[in-house]
Amino acid sequence: MHLSPSLKPTARRLRRRCENPANTARRPATALDVLLPTKYASRYPDSSLLIWWWHIGRATSGPSSPPVGSSLSSRTTVSSTQGVQFPGAAQDVCDAMQWVVDNLPFPNSDVYVLGHSAGAMNMFTILALPELYSPTLHPRIKGAILLSGCYTFEDIPADMKDSVRMHYGEDAEANQRVPLALLESASVPTLRLLLGIGERDIPCLDPAMNKFNAALKEKGLYIFTTIMNSVITCNSREWRLTTSSCIDRFKLWSHIGIAPHSFRFARKRGSHHQFRGYARSF
């Protein structure tokens, strides 16, 4: 594990925001990076809230310094060696989360996790796969927000299947490893979960969302609904405000020990994408 200090803002950093295949294999001794700008340690010395965000990338690529990190709080990046198969990527991030939680100077902080697209799928793997459960990490996670996840591969287009097989294995293996299959066989403690999808998202995500939603209902989980307005890339002030509101709700539920029957974010529509959301209390 490599802990790196922050870099001074330069134009060179913009190059890292372009989506390219991971190339950490150039440093064979480094399989996992945890990057935290040192300036935030002095700015937020008594922080009691930790947010983990797993960004998009089709399980094969993605920016190692996504812009939304600085919009929410301090920017932290975890990168995994290229070619790692299920559940290697989830294990890497789970190990990083465990390390951070074990070394926090504020032991009573609440942890919230966010995932988008492939990040949503991998984040749910951390939450639901029994082999990854940690008695010192998972109870600290108070809520999860998962956006635009492909929770089953039944309806994915042909051009996405190669990246799926690269990470999840061949079809028979992949069908046992997708979030929907993990949910149906889940035996580990779970938590409050908010699901969202953009109205202009790729078509295969909508049926996947509906099937995942139906599986949640079959488990008898409590249902909440919300409307989320944001751009699909999650890089906007609107998305940040909505996400912050979700976390505030999660914190309220944890504090009073109950959950409201429903909640709705009424924000005006503009040129942003519309997110439909479902929230479950596990």
In a domain, 79, yes or no: yes
**Total structural domains within the chain:** 1
In a domain, 13, yes or no: no
In a domain, 174, yes or no: yes
What is the band of 49 on the pLDDT scale with cuts at 50, 70, 90? low
pTM over 0.75: no
Residue type present at position 114: L
In a domain, 19, yes or no: no
Task: State yes or no: pLDDT of 207 exceeds 70.
Answer: yes
pLDDT for residue 218 = 80
pLDDT for residue 259 = 39
The CATH number that applies at residue 276 is 3.40.50.1820
In a domain, 44, yes or no: yes
Whether the link from the prior residue into 21 is cis, omega within 30° of 0, is: no
Round to whole Å and give the CA distance between 90 and 92: 5
Supply the range of the domain harboring residue 201. Answer: 2-7+30-281
In a domain, 17, yes or no: no
In a domain, 25, yes or no: no
